[in-house]
Structure 1
Amino acid sequence: MDNTTYIALSRIDALTRSLDVTANNLANTNTAGFKASREVFSDYIVKQKDIHQLPGGKTETYTQDRATYQDHMQGPLRETGNTTDFAINGEGYFTVLTTQGIRLTRNGQFQRRADGVLVDMAGNPLLDRYRRPITIRQNDDILSVSSDGTISTQEGAIGTINLVTVDNLNTLKPEGNYLLQPTTLTHNVAHKEIRQGMLESSNVNAVTEATRMVEIQRDYDLNFQLIQTESTRRTSAIDKITAEPEA
């Protein structure tokens, strides 16, 4: 393979990564609290050998996959009417206790377990400000949550939902489709705004992602065609060079 093929292959490798990220975004369009992922690419410039002495010497540009990050922009809030659905308006994350430790999430779709503990879809308990699972007594029928996270029943306040954040959101490590692992210290959110009976929708724009997928596919096809054309050219050149001269 010559350099043209290597350059095209580097682009195809990056496009494959983009396609995976875009497909995952589309698959989670309806996942509450999901944050879209974005890719970061850069050009890796290489100067050809034996021409570095020449002014403006020829260079080759390869595509390099640098990183993938999450877009933490808030998604739209939608009303569900479910008393154990909570949406965060503004900054902050719910804290849940998993088998791997404490994790953060914007997915406020909780349910009341048989023993009264509020858990997420995977059964991870929702934690209060003291990092204890929030438990609703068996005989408590009325459940209300104020904007500051205070949970009350007909017997009065029973706890407070905790919201935390980190100084740099890019340090949060995604786990699955809605959990985040904090890799730096967390701190409580000063001004909480929790809305009961609502969920934060995914911040994925399905139309934008679908359009991007079409663009990626087209770019992929063009680069693949370039590789095929270059392969045909080289094969033809080799055939001509190695062909026996006529008698």
Structure 2
Amino acid sequence: MGEFTITEQDGHVLTVTINRPERMNALHPMANAEMGAIFDMFEANPDLWVAIVTGAGDRAFSAGNDLVYQAEGNPKWYAPMGFGGLTGRWNRTKPVIAAVNGVAMGGGFEIALSCDLIIASENARFALPEPKVGLAALAGGLQRLPRQIGLKNAMGMILTGRHVPAAEGKELGFVNEVVPQGEALTAARRWADMMLECSPVSLRTSLEVVRDNFNYPSLEDAMKADYPSVQTLRHSEDFIEGPKAFAEKRKPNWKGK
């Protein structure tokens, strides 16, 4: 248990809980730095294959930047890896799931958008309200949201700061599943368990190819590109184990290497 977070490892899954419920899990520089260190550890630990990030309590996933802390004249610096140690983590190689159990505003929404899946409880609310307080969503919200739901849908949120409920988030395409209040973390773990049925090497390869293919001007260029993780996959133990387990009609024993 950290000063601002709670971490729990269950098998190959790491659950990270933002633990500032008195501030609706808003993040200040020290909390961002602590989460950055946690996700550094997650990336470096070969025994951890999937992470889930959520917020303490049932009111908030994260209200984003701690404006009260900022208004008190405290330093405005951010951790190198951004909000929640995730929004600026460009070379992340392992899947991360956001279990949104309440409001995800500003930087909180940007954390969720930087994850690979968003599982939301029915009481979840999403927004980029920065313009209402003279700011802008510069931790990836202005870049990620249009890429994930299209320009017009994104601008409808960005230029109004309006709150979007979980059901609408599912319709817009940035939420994967909506579940009853109190069940977001359980549902996120169900998705994590489905990921654990897959080779961790295959998942790392898939994440890299999906992420980096946008760097190429055409589909043909993207498909012909050289992705380092593809070579890693082809020389991995999992690359041999998968077909072997299929032929032997048994579950594969993934090594993650």
Considering the TM-score relative to the shorter chain, is it more than 0.5? no
TM-score w.r.t. length of structure 1: 0.19
Asked which structure has the greater CA Rg, the reply is 1
The structure whose residues are more often strand, as a share, is: 1
Does 1 or 2 have the higher relative contact order (CA < 8 Å, sep 6+)? 1
The structure whose residues are more often helix, as a share, is: 2
